Amino acid sequence: MTVGLIGFGEVGRLFAQALLPKVASVSAWDLKFVEPAAGREAQALGVHAAASLADLCQRSQLVISAVTASSTLAVAREAAGYLSAGAFFLDLNSASPGTKQQAGALIEAAGGRYVEAGVMTSVPPHGIGVPMLIGGRHAAALLPVLSALGMHASVVSERLGVASATKMCRSVMIKGLEALVIESFVTARHHGVEDAMIATLQETFPGIDWSAQGRYFFSRVAQHGQRRAEEMREAANTVREAGFEPVMAAAIAEKHDWVAAQARSGVFNDLPGKQPDWQLFADALLKARGPA
């Protein structure tokens, strides 16, 4: 088995490291590879840094697409022109059922075997064993291959869109909870009522450590807010495809985008450690806001 990874971000690196001992070769291609240093990082891990998407596809029996949600369809469209006949194309991206169906049609028309995946939780700390739902008419054929590579996949349907709909509906809840916690906790911090507010949450939902959850949510959105916002725009498309106005999904996307913009501007640069307490994130946002 030869494997190609489209996208060499957090997911691509984790998958590459796990796959290297198990397959004949791992190739990767990323837009960042136009910078030589980015390609050298892949090569240092033992991954072939492909010269182009065409180079990657022509080398790979299994192509795994792990790019930002907004690039899902464009990557499938370009890859379709280069895939070897019968190659599997596993689409990990967080996109709406309609987007996955369009991507699948492009790959299948070119002779590839398209399989959608809904990754059902954060890839770290699971790595390649992250739980995922897969679907499409080639999903059952790909399942034993993925299992042998250490992936934790389950076939949900031969119909494209079922896995992604499950993922997108979950994202409205999970990313929505992240956005709510950030808005609620920062506002409570401003008014000096965070301890009392969290105590009432703890009483109502005793199974959740709200301070620890807040720390995790703030850190993940600060680090990956832009990617989460793109995912939520696809979640909004999923709601539209069901015939409803995505009032909540659209607002969640805006909140994640806003946090991402704060991170890019350097608001969180001086926070200590990999996962600071949520209060430090809140204080940084309040300081950047200026007097209320």
pLDDT at position 210, please?
A: 97
Name the region of 277 (left: φ>0; alpha: ψ -120 to 50; beta: rest). beta
pLDDT at position 274, please?
A: 86
pLDDT at position 93, please?
A: 97
- Per residue in 226-240, pLDDT (tens digit) is 999 999 999 999 999
Kindly report the CATH number assigned to the domain that includes residue 245.
1.10.1040.10
**Domain identity same for 13 and 147:** yes
**Domain identity same for 241 and 282:** yes
**Domain identity same for 145 and 276:** no
**Domain identity same for 177 and 65:** no
What's this model's pTM, rounded to 2 decimal places?
0.92
**Domain identity same for 6 and 124:** yes
List the chain residues with pLDDT less than 50.
Answer: none
**Domain identity same for 56 and 177:** no
Last residue of a domain, one of 160, 188, 205: 160
Cα–Cα distance for residue pair 61/4, rounded to 1 Å:
8
**Domain identity same for 154 and 178:** no
What's the structural domain count of the chain? 2
Kindly report the CATH number assigned to the domain that includes residue 81.
3.40.50.720
- Per residue in 169-183, pLDDT (tens digit) is 999 999 999 999 999
**Are 131 and 266 in contact, with CB atoms under 8 Å apart?**
no
The DSSP bridge pattern shows strands 2-6 and 48-49 to be: unpaired
Last residue of a domain, one of 160, 191, 209: 160
Last residue of a domain, one of 112, 127, 160: 160
**Domain identity same for 250 and 154:** no
**Domain identity same for 154 and 173:** no
**Domain identity same for 222 and 78:** no
pLDDT at position 53, please?
A: 96
**Domain identity same for 213 and 154:** no
CA angle (174, 175, 180) in 5-degree steps: 100
Q: Which residues of 100-139 are buried (b: 16+ CB within 10 A; e: fewer)?
A: bbbbbebbbebebbbbbbbbbeebeeeebebebbbbbebb
Domain of 23, in residue numbers: 2-160
What pairs with residue 153 in β-bridges?
Answer: 132
pLDDT at position 16, please?
A: 96
**Domain identity same for 106 and 236:** no
pLDDT at position 160, please?
A: 97
